[in-house]
Chains A and B, each alone.
Chain A
Amino acid sequence: MQVKKTNFTVNATPRFSVLTEDEIEQIYFSALSVLYETGVRVYDQEGVDVAHAGGAIVEDTTEDSSLVKIPPWMVDKALSTLPRKVVVIGPDRKHRMELFKDQVYFGAGSDTPFTIDPKSGERRRATYEDVKNFARLAQALPNIDFHMSLGIVQDRAVGTYDRWQYLAMLEGTTKPINITAVDLDGLNDQLEMAYIRLGGKEEWRKGPIFSLYIEPVSPLSHSEEVIQKLLFSADNEIPFVYTPCPLAGATSPTTLAGTAVQALTESLFGIVLAQIRKPGAPMIIGGLMSNMDMQTTVYCYGSPEMALLSAAYTEITKWLGVPMYETAGCSDSKMFDAQAAMEATINIATAALVGGNMIHDVGYLEQGLTSSPELMVAANEIIDMVKRILRGIPTTDADLALPVMDSVGPGGHFLEHDHTYKRFKHEIWQPQLIDRQNFESWEMSGSKTFKDRVHERVLEILEAEHEPLMEDKMFAEIKRICELADERHKDEELDLDMFGPG
Chain B
Amino acid sequence: MNETLEKLSTCILEGDSEAAPGLVQQALDDGVVPKTILDEGMVVGMNEVGDRFRRGDMFVPEVLMSADAMQSGLEILRPELVSSGVKLIGKVVLGTVQGDLHDIGKNLVGMMCEGAGFEVIDLGFNQKPEAFIDAVKEHQPDLVGMSALLTTTMRAMGHTIKSLEEAGLREQVKVMVGGAPVDQAFADRIGADGYGSNAVAGSDLAKRLVGAG
Contacts and interface: CB of A to CB of B under 8 A. Distances in A.
Contacts of A295: 56, 59-60
Interface in B150-166: 151-152, 154-155, 158-159
Contacts of B59: 294-295
B76 interface: no
B168 interface: no
B104 interface: yes
A307 interface: no
A152 B104 contact: no
B181 interface: yes
Contacts of A249: 61
Interface in A142-163: 152, 154, 158-159, 161
Given A369-B180, A496-B190, A158 B152 contact: yes
Given A294-B60, A295-B60, A297-B199, A159 B155 contact: yes
A492 B151 CA distance: 13
Nearest to A112: B181
Given A251-B104, A369-B180, A498-B189, A152 B60 contact: no
B104 A250 contact: yes
Contacts of A251: 104
A292 B190 CA distance: 30
Interface residues of B, number: 21
Contacts of A497: 189
Nearest to A296: B198
A113 B151 contact: yes
B105 interface: yes
Query: A interface, how many residues as a size bin?
Result: 20 to 34
B159 A494 contact: yes
A236 interface: no
Interface string B168-197: 000000000000110000100110000000
B101 interface: yes
B71 to A, nearest CB: 19
B108 interface: yes
Nearest to B154: A498
Contact of A154 (B105, B151, B198): B151
A498 B152 CA distance: 10
B104 A498 contact: no
A473 B152 CA distance: 30
A223 interface: yes
Contacts of B154: 158, 498
21 contacts: A113-B181, A114-B181, A154-B151, A159-B152, A159-B155, A161-B151, A182-B152, A249-B61, A251-B104, A294-B61, A295-B56, A297-B108, A297-B199, A369-B181, A492-B155, A496-B158, A497-B189, A498-B151, A498-B154, A498-B155, A498-B158
Interface of A: 113-114, 152, 154, 158-159, 161, 182, 217, 223, 247, 249-251, 292, 294-297, 367, 369, 492-494, 496-499
Interface of B: 56, 59-61, 101, 104-105, 108, 151-152, 154-155, 158-159, 180-181, 186, 189-190, 198-199
